[in-house]
Amino acid sequence: MAALAENIAKVKANIAAAARAAGRDPSEITLVAATKTQTGDTIRAAIAAGITVCGENRVQELTAHLAEGAYAGAALHFIGHLQTNKVKYVVGKVDLIHSASSEKLLRAIDRQADKLGIVQDILLEVNLAGEESKSGFLPQEVPQMAALAANMTHVNLRGLMCIPPRAQYLGANFRFFENLHHLAVDIRSQISDNKTEYGTLSMGMSDDYPDAIKAGATHIRVGTALFGPRPPLPGTE
Ligand SMILES: *Cc1c(COP(=O)(O)O)cnc(C)c1O
């Protein structure tokens, strides 16, 4: 676990350096630890070593870790693909859903939150590169979906999220991150209900988070750089 504490310190130092280089305050950036495939013990160790937000990908892991209290002391976000028929396992259990990726899912989240009598914080996932294999709204669909979400009474639209293609070289994804930032600015000027600021930008992973910070990320989702390489999961990548 010594390596984990060192990795966390290293990523935090990199966040601070990237923020300062971009003229930003490092405290504007939240490190979300992407905990998929990790054990409850590893999650507890990460929180003890200074992780304040866990991002979970899979409903099954989320449910199991919640049952054993693994996230105690940290905020909990859902960052993975969410099926409409699984919203009841996620809505009201997490502080923020990063991956609202279809109109059907958005409506299901709103309905479930209504049932629970809560308001669920969400981000809209944007498929910036129009990749067939990925979920999310195409950039041109975002203004309409943001307007829809802003009018829902049981979801609170906080901003946007993206998962661009794997960066092949440093700097490769900067333009995608800038595009997401511009989309968020457009939405903010389009919807002026004063309900929220839509200021959350969840973008950047182990390979490209300094670029995301440069482009205005408020939340970066980091797994490998904290926990080391993962065994491949069936049905992913
Ligand atoms: C796994 C995952 C991450 C973290 O990926 P790394 O490359 O391991 O940092 C970030 N976001 C999402 C949605 C993920 O599934």
How many A from CA of 117 to the centre of ligand 1? 31
206 in contact with ligand 1, CB cutoff 6 A: yes
Residue 166: the pLDDT is 87
How many A from CA of 209 to the centre of ligand 1? 11
pLDDT at 237 > cutoff 50: no
Q: Which atom of ligand 1 is nearest to the CA of 221?
A: 10
In order, the DSSP letters of 72-124 are: TTSEEEE-S---GGGGGGTTTTSSEEEEE-SHHHHHHHHHHHHHHT--EEEEE
Q: Which segments within 143-209 are labelled E, that is strand?
A: 155-162, 200-202
How many A from CA of 25 to the centre of ligand 1? 24
- Please choose from 35, 37, 220, 221 the residue to mutate so as to test ligand 1's pocket, defined by most ligand atoms within 8 A of CB: 221
- Please choose from 79, 81, 94, 220 the residue to mutate so as to test ligand 1's pocket, defined by most ligand atoms within 8 A of CB: 79
Residue 1: the pLDDT is 59
Q: What confidence tens digit (pLDDT) does each residue in 175-220 have?
A: 999 999 999 998 888 876 655 578 999 999 999 999 999 999 999 9
In order, the DSSP letters of 20-71 are: HHTT--GGG-EEEEE-TT--HHHHHHHHHTT--EEEE--HHHHHHHHHTTTT
Q: What confidence tens digit (pLDDT) does each residue in 13-53 have?
A: 999 999 999 999 999 999 999 999 999 999 999 999 999 99
**Fold held by 2-224:** TIM Barrel (3.20.20)
Residue 230: the pLDDT is 86
Q: What confidence tens digit (pLDDT) does each residue in 119-170 have?
A: 999 999 999 999 999 999 999 999 999 999 999 999 999 999 999 988 888 8
CA distances from 136 to 47, 56, 142, 173, 220 (A): 30, 17, 9, 17, 18
Note the pTM of the prediction, 2 decimals.
0.95
Residue 123: the pLDDT is 98
Residue nearest to atom 7 of ligand 1 (CA): 206
State percent of the chain over pLDDT 90. Answer: 86
| Averaged pLDDT of the chain | 94
Q: How sure is the predictor about 235, in pLDDT bands with cuts at 50, 70 and 90?
A: low
204 in contact with ligand 1, CB cutoff 6 A: no
How many A from CA of 35 to the centre of ligand 1? 9
Interatomic CA distance for residues 87 and 22, integer angstroms: 37
> For the chain, what are the domain ranges?
2-224
User: Of residues 89 and 168, which shows the higher confidence score?
Assistant: 89
Q: Stretch 88-110: mean pLDDT, rounded?
A: 98
pLDDT at 87 > cutoff 50: yes
57 in contact with ligand 1, CB cutoff 6 A: yes
